[in-house]
């Protein structure tokens, strides 16, 4: 078993990056995720592993630093919160187009606009449906604990390099700020430059005489060429959908009703489940861990067995669209949400279940 | 196939005194005839060849006329989003400190949309080279006003001439950059005559030699023409550049060995 520590979610992300063998972190302060860079700066990762940490002049610069470093095959990460992630959309789209691996952590706060610094899940659409311009997908991981904040960094880097695609960790201000025990994985040494070049022959690392020059770009002015780029991306996303879906179920075996929730909402629904079951309501919890790829088939199959689903989100109803598309129109599916930084209580979720699904 | 102009019997290795460097890809450039970009490309690539650092160099191209620079330069390159080249170069150089890294940017890219990235990379004293082509216009998008368009100069978005009262003053970003402590070498050159070409090449060599010693930013502005955007013949455009651009953007070294050698004229 790895090292046991009590940490904030944001600190776990930072420590996991060092331990995953990350080569560089580029970021800009924003609440509620500033502890990521603070922890990294205090840890002196350049002494621990040789990792570079740089405070950029903006989120726009951070994401483009990520683009540059990722284009040379380096393992790099940034983190921010909602308004900062909006600024990064340009670079994220370019990275998806140029097929570059990186991990981007969004510790979501309430919006729109400057919004609030309190937790929210209102960036689901932005993370899952694109966010920037053009047809592209990020792999989106939704941690529900400090442990997963740590584990998803390592998983994120694995998926990013496996598919040459940016990965987003869609967290929220509560998971970023709360302290829990976390089992840290053992440190993985950073790759040597020789291994990096061998493992990433597509990367721009300096042209030796023995090969053609490498160009990292998302530009193809020829429509037929650009369509080929898009078809290749879509084929890759299909492969990700076939191979990388992750979800968790709790008490679904005998369930008549289901909570569908990700991240922090799923934690609240666990307590709501206990309360509802004590009242004799047969309720289960389905928690998607990957938001893209979305567990379409698992939710579809579950929809055939139960009477209704309540999708609980800290937003105005975003993931519910994907749940409805997965299930079809056969059962009652409703949304319960709080916004603007309000976290729903387990009691109000049970009440919503009773009024909207069971009695509705 | 036509007989080549040069007779094959005299085209022997020992007779060759000058040829296109292999670091330029053998394909037609996308630039208008008369444009200075091709010359700067060549000086840059000749320098890398002479220093034998093709395998140690990573370049970053911009958005603008030279967006396809990576197609012409036979080195590993990344195409940046508009204005973001210095951010890419910062991360590349930090993570590959033994490589040579440069950005190649136009005036709209470097001095308008990328001002923040440019100034902060320079101020941090990153160890890469910036090649800045200033032709006072957005060439690729069809001749719109640039941050460096001269007062009174016509463009498609200043069709009656740049009115500084409503359109702002031209930005002498090179003088701004020169005042930053992280910047080691700043020079302004041109490529419209053979002697200017030679000076530009010397400046590029100096910049890359200094990069080897981790001296900080080397910033080379090349004042160039845009005969298409300026709606002139190449010859007219070079004459116009000498008469109008050079008085506003005077050629020569601005900062040498980390010291300002010319009083900066940020606004006239």
pLDDT along chain A (360 residues), means of 10: 94 98 98 98 97 98 98 98 98 98 98 96 97 97 98 98 98 98 98 97 97 97 96 98 98 97 98 98 98 98 97 98 94 96 97 93
Report the gap between the CA of A121 and the closest CA in chain B (Å). 29
Which of A151, A166, A194 is a domain's end point?
A: A194
Are A71 and B120 within 8 A, CB to CB? no
Instruction: Examine the domain organization and report whether A142 and A52 are in the same domain.
Output: yes
pLDDT digits (tens, 9 = 90+) for A170-179: 999 999 999 9
Residue A227, in any domain of the structure: no
Instruction: Examine the domain organization and report whether A143 and A27 are in the same domain.
Output: yes
Are A72 and B95 within 8 A, CB to CB? yes
Report the gap between the CA of A135 and the closest CA in chain B (Å). 17
At B118, list the tokens: 């440019």
Residue B231 scores a pLDDT above 50: yes
Instruction: Examine the domain organization and report whether A183 and A48 are in the same domain.
Output: yes
Residue B45, in any domain of the structure: yes
Are A205 and B120 within 8 A, CB to CB? no
Residue A301, in any domain of the structure: yes
Q: What is the pLDDT of residue B260?
A: 96
Which of A163, A194, A225 is a domain's end point?
A: A194
Q: Name which of A52, A58, A206 is nearest B57 (Cβ-Cβ).
A: A206
Residue A220, in any domain of the structure: no
Residue A142, in any domain of the structure: yes
Are A60 and B96 within 8 A, CB to CB? no
Domain assignment of residue A272, given as a range: 248-358
Q: What is the pLDDT of residue B159?
A: 97
Are B95 and A54 within 8 A, CB to CB? no
The pLDDT-based confidence of B225 (bands split at 50, 70, 90) is very high
The pLDDT-based confidence of B1 (bands split at 50, 70, 90) is low
Query: Mean pLDDT for chain B?
Result: 94
Report the gap between the CA of A204 and the closest CA in chain B (Å). 5
Give the residue from chain A lying closest to B97, CA to CA: A52
Q: Name which of B79, B88, B95 is nearest A24 (Cβ-Cβ).
A: B95
Query: Which comes out higher in pLDDT, residue B3 or A324?
Result: A324
Choose, out of A207, A208, A218, A219, the residue to mutate when testing the contact with B (most B CBs < 10 Å): A207
Total of domains in chain A: 2
**B68-to-B59, B124, B232, B256 alpha-carbon distances in Å:** 12, 28, 24, 31
Residue B251, in any domain of the structure: yes
Total of domains in chain B: 1
Report the gap between the CA of A8 and the closest CA in chain B (Å). 28
Report the gap between the CA of B22 and the closest CA in chain A (Å). 11
Residues in chain B: 268
Q: What is the pLDDT of residue A1?
A: 73
Q: Name which of B57, B77, B116 is nearest A58 (Cβ-Cβ).
A: B116
Using the CB atoms, write b or e for B75-87: b if 16+ within 10 Å: bbbbbbbbbbbbb
Residue A216, in any domain of the structure: no
Residue B241 scores a pLDDT above 90: yes
Q: What is the pLDDT of residue B4?
A: 56
Instruction: Examine the domain organization and report whether A29 and A165 are in the same domain.
Output: yes
Report the gap between the CA of A112 and the closest CA in chain B (Å). 25
Residue B94, in any domain of the structure: yes
* CA A31 to chain centroid: 18
Residue A257, in any domain of the structure: yes
Q: What is the pLDDT of residue B267?
A: 44
Residues of chain B contacting A52 with CB distance shorter than 8 Å: 91, 94-95
ipTM for the assembly: 0.96
Is B260 an 8 Å CB contact of chain A?
no
CATH code of residue B85: 3.40.50.970
Residue A77, in any domain of the structure: yes
Are B55 and A208 within 8 A, CB to CB? yes
Residue B21, in any domain of the structure: no
Are A206 and B89 within 8 A, CB to CB? no
Residue B267, in any domain of the structure: no
Tokens 């940017």 found at: B105
Q: What is the pLDDT of residue B268?
A: 44
Q: What is the pLDDT of residue B212?
A: 96
CATH code of residue A96: 3.40.50.970
At A31, list the tokens: 């609440």
Choose, out of A51, A209, A213, the residue to mutate when testing the contact with B (most B CBs < 10 Å): A213
Residue A61, in any domain of the structure: yes
At B155, list the tokens: 């463009």
Instruction: Examine the domain organization and report whether A166 and A46 are in the same domain.
Output: yes
pLDDT digits (tens, 9 = 90+) for B22-56: 999 999 999 999 999 999 999 999 999 999 999 99
Domain assignment of residue B89, given as a range: 30-260
Are A57 and B56 within 8 A, CB to CB? no
Q: What is the four-CA torsion angle of B189, B191, B195, B200, rounded to 10 degrees?
A: 50
Residues of chain B contacting A68 with CB distance shorter than 8 Å: 60, 78, 80, 87-92
Residues of chain A contacting B87 with CB distance shorter than 8 Å: 56, 60-62, 64-65, 67-68
Provide the chain B residues 67-106 that lie in CB contact (below 8 A) with chain A. Answer: 67-68, 70-71, 73-81, 84, 87-92, 94-96, 99
- Determine what percent of chain B is predicted with pLDDT higher than 70: 94
Provide the chain B residues 42-61 that lie in CB contact (below 8 A) with chain A. Answer: 54-58, 60
The pLDDT of B214-231, averaged and rounded, is 97
Is A1 an 8 Å CB contact of chain B?
no
Count CB neighbours of B145 within 10 A.
Answer: 23
Q: What is the pLDDT of residue B3?
A: 57
Residue B255 scores a pLDDT above 90: yes
CATH code of residue A328: 3.40.50.920
Instruction: Examine the domain organization and report whether A22 and A130 are in the same domain.
Output: yes
Residues of chain A contacting B70 with CB distance shorter than 8 Å: 213, 215, 217
* Closest among A104, A101, A123 to A112, alpha carbons compared: A123
Task: Determine the Cα angle at B214 with ends B98 and B65, to 5°.
Answer: 80
Tokens 């442990």 found at: A147
pLDDT digits (tens, 9 = 90+) for B194-222: 999 999 999 999 999 999 999 999 999 99
Residue B19, in any domain of the structure: no
Choose, out of B87, B118, B125, B182, the residue to mutate when testing the contact with A (most A CBs < 10 Å): B87
Beta strand pairing call for A179-184 and A332-337: unpaired
């Amino acid at each position: 078993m790895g090292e046991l520590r009590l940490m904030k979610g944001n600190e776990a992300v930072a420590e996991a990056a060092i331990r995953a063998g990350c080569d560089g972190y580029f970021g800009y302060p924003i609440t509620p995720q500033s502890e990521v860079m603070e922890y990294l700066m205090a840890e002196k990762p350049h002494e621990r592993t040789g990792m570079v940490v740089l405070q950029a002049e903006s989120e726009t610069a951070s994401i483009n630093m990520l683009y540059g470093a990722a284009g040379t095959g380096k393992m790099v990460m940034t983190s921010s919160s909602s308004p900062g992630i909006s600024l990064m959309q340009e670079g994220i789209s370019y990275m998806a187009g140029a097929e570059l691996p990186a991990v981007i952590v969004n510790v979501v706060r309430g919006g729109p606009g400057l919004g609030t610094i309190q937790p929210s899940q209102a960036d689901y659409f932005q993370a899952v449906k694109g966010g920037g311009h053009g047809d592209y997908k990020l792999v989106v991981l939704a941690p529900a604990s400090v442990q997963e904040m740590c584990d998803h960094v390592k998983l994120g880097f694995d998926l990013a390099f496996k598919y040459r695609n940016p990965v987003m960790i869609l967290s929220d201000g509560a998971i970023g700020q709360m302290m829990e025990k976390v089992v840290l994985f053992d440190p993985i040494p950073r790759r040597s430059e020789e291994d990096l070049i061998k493992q990433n022959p597509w990367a721009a690392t300096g042209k030796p005489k023995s090969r053609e020059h490498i160009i990292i770009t998302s530009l193809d002015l020829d429509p037929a060429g650009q369509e080929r780029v898009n078809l290749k991306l879509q084929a890759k996303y299909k492969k990700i959908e076939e191979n990388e879906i992750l979800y968790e179920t709790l008490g679904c075996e005998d369930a008549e009703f289901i909570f569908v929730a990700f991240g922090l909402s799923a934690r609240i629904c666990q307590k709501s489940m206990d309360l509802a079951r004590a009242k004799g309501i047969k309720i289960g919890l389905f928690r998607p861990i990957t938001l893209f790829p979305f567990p379409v088939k698992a939710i579809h199959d579950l929809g055939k067995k139960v009477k209704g689903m309540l999708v609980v989100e800290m937003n105005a109803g975003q993931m519910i669209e994907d749940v409805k598309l997965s299930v079809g129109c056969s059962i009652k599916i409703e949304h319960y949400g709080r916004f603007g930084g309000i976290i729903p209580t387990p009691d109000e979720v049970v009440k919503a279940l009773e009024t909207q699904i069971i009695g509705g | 196939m036509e007989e080549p102009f040069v007779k094959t019997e005299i085209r022997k290795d020992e007779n060759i005194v000058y040829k296109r460097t292999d670091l330029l890809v053998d394909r037609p450039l996308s630039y208008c005839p008369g444009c200075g970009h091709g010359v700067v490309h060549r000086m840059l690539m000749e320098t890398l060849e002479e220093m034998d650092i093709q395998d140690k160099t990573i370049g970053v191209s911009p958005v603008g006329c030279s967006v396809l620079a990576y197609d012409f330069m036979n080195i590993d390159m990344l195409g940046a989003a508009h204005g973001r080249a210095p951010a890419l170069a910062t991360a590349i150089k930090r993570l590959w400190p033994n490589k040579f890294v440069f950005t190649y940017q136009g005036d709209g890219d470097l001095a308008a949309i990328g001002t923040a990235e440019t100034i902060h990379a320079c101020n941090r004293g990153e160890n890469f080279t910036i090649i800045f082509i200033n032709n006072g216009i957005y060439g690729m998008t069809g001749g719109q006003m640039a941050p460096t368009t001269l007062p009174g100069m016509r463009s498609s978005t200043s069709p009656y001439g740049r009115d500084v009262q409503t359109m702002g003053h031209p930005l002498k970003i090179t003088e701004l950059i020169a005042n930053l402590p992280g910047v080691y070498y700043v020079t302004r050159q041109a490529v419209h005559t053979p002697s200017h070409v030679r000076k530009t090449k010397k400046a590029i060599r100096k910049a890359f030699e200094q990069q080897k010693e981790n001296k900080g930013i080397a910033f080379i502005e090349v004042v160039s023409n845009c005969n298409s955007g300026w709606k002139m013949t190449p010859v007219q455009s070079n004459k116009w550049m000498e008469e109008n651009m050079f008085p506003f953007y005077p050629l020569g070294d601005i900062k040498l060995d980390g010291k300002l050698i010319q009083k900066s004229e940020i606004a006239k």
